[in-house]
């Protein structure tokens, strides 16, 4: 409604409207003015202004028309004015609501467009990792032993002296404790027993037999700790797989046959094994297993003609310690040493992995250099 057109501010009498047909055309005029504006493009704030202009309670056009046209209307016009005003009000309210909905819809469309996820944008590339070589070798060894009836158990890395030494027949002041020069934990005063990082996986022999009656066939993969100075072949943390088989009639032949089976599975059927006498307090007899050098075919001579760099010309490579379980150990776990027998072995995984995959520095396993790790996907 143009500002010059302030008809709702005046009464019908002022406007010279006295007949119903004049009332009708006056309302038609107002409606046309409303409609002209209603088709404009609105944003929310302008829509509100427009709404208040028409529907505002005090000064909105419809209130003004009510006050200035309807209320003071001559009795013979009141009906017509009332009817026309109702029509106009219904029309105005419907239109204003219609525009409100369309503004809302537009805004929704806008925000959808704004927030649309563009699936064609390049994503963040997260490289897929792989198992560490040590983990892979654990897995290889586990698969071989599981296939011949062993199960896999794991144990604590923090041990008591009892499990790490005493129950394995290594009493206090026994010289082999020196070999394992050990990490002890600093404990609060009054702690019941000293604790240390296990120096081998052998404590799990004891823990397993304490829990379980024979027959026992387990392997124990895990981390072990010794106070070694780091160099190409030493690390203060390394990995072992312990093995233990105890049953009513396990013989030395079962023992060597099992080890030979494992070594051939791991290095290939072409290798030979041999054992030499050795010493461990918890096995008797104790042996050290060797494998014929898988790299020079047990000749000591490299394909190029020189000395084999892997076995340094010895033709054999020392693999790991093992033996028949010392009957003294059964005493610690309430097994009857007259009724059972068995064997145990302790494989150093890092050394085995280095041998098999031609790695010349044990430190590479702990440095997390992806250029190294990626070579073993």
Residues engaged in binding ligand PHE (CB under 6 A): 200, 202, 242, 280, 283, 321-323, 344-346
Min dist. Cβ of residue 319 to ligand PHE (A)? 11
Paired tokens of 59 = 């000064």
Nearer to ligand PHE by Cβ, of 239 and 310: the residue is: 239
Min dist. Cβ of residue 209 to ligand PHE (A)? 13
At which residue do the structure tokens 């806008």 appear? Answer: 110
- Peptide linkage before 285 cis (omega within 30 of 0): yes
What is d(CA 192, CA 259) in angstroms, rounded to the nearest whole number?
40
What is d(CA 300, CA 293) in angstroms, rounded to the nearest whole number?
7
HSE-up (13 A, CA, CB side) for residue 330:
21
Paired tokens of 203 = 């404590």
What is d(CA 121, CA 264) in angstroms, rounded to the nearest whole number?
52
Min dist. Cβ of residue 323 to ligand PHE (A)? 5
- Peptide linkage before 251 cis (omega within 30 of 0): no
Min dist. Cβ of residue 202 to ligand PHE (A)? 4
Nearer to ligand PHE by Cβ, of 205 and 292: the residue is: 205
Nearer to ligand PHE by Cβ, of 99 and 217: the residue is: 217
Residue nearest to ligand PHE (CB): 346
Min dist. Cβ of residue 279 to ligand PHE (A)? 9
Nearer to ligand PHE by Cβ, of 26 and 241: the residue is: 241
Paired tokens of 202 = 């052998």
Nearer to ligand PHE by Cβ, of 311 and 325: the residue is: 325
Alpha carbon 31 to its chain's center = 67
Min dist. Cβ of residue 194 to ligand PHE (A)? 20
Nearer to ligand PHE by Cβ, of 298 and 342: the residue is: 342
Min dist. Cβ of residue 278 to ligand PHE (A)? 8
Nearer to ligand PHE by Cβ, of 26 and 170: the residue is: 170
Element (H, E) at 255: helix 252-267
Paired tokens of 245 = 């088989």
- Rg of the chain over Cα atoms, rounded to whole angstroms, equals 47
**Secondary structure percentages of the chain, helix, strand, coil, to 5:** 45, 20, 40
């Amino acid at each position: 409604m143009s500002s010059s057109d302030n008809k709702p501010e005046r009464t019908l009498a002022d406007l010279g409207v006295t007949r119903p047909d004049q009332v009708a055309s006056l309302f038609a005029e107002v409606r046309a003015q409303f409609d002209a504006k209603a088709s404009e493009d609105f944003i929310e704030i302008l829509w509100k202004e427009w709404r208040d202009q028409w529907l505002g309670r005090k000064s909105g056009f419809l209130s003004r028309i009510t006050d200035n046209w309807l209320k003071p209307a001559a009795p013979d016009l009141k009906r017509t004015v009332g009817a026309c005003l109702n029509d106009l009000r219904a029309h105005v309210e419907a239109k204003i609501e219609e525009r409100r909905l369309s503004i809302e819809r537009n805004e929704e469309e806008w925000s959808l467009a704004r927030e649309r996820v563009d699936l064609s944008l390049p994503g963040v590339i997260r490289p897929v990792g792989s198992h560490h070589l040590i983990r892979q070798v654990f897995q290889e060894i586990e698969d071989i032993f599981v296939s011949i009836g062993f199960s896999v158990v794991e144990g604590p890395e923090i041990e008591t002296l009892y499990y790490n030494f005493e129950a394995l027949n290594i009493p206090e002041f026994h010289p082999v404790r020196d070999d394992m020069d050990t990490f002890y934990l600093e404990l609060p005063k009054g702690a019941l027993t000293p604790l240390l990082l296990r120096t081998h996986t052998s404590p799990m022999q004891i823990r397993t037999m304490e829990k379980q009656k024979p027959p026992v066939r387990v392997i124990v993969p895990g981390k072990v700790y010794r106070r070694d100075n780091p160099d190409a072949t030493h690390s203060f943390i390394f990995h072992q797989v312990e093995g233990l088989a105890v049953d009513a009639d396990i013989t030395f032949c079962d023992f060597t046959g099992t080890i030979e089976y494992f070594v051939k599975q791991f290095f290939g059927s072409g290798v030979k094994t041999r054992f030499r006498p050795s010493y461990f307090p918890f096995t008797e007899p104790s042996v050290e297993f060797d494998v014929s050098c898988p790299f020079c075919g047990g000749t000591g001579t490299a394909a190029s003609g020189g000395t084999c760099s892997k076995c340094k010309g010895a033709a054999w490579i020392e693999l790991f310690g093992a033996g028949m379980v010392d009957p003294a150990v059964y005493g610690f776990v309430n097994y009857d040493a007259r009724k059972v027998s068995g064997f145990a072995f302790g494989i150093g995984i890092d050394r085995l992995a280095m041998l098999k995959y031609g790695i010349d520095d044990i430190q590479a396993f702990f440095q997390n250099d992806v250029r190294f790790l990626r070579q073993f996907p």
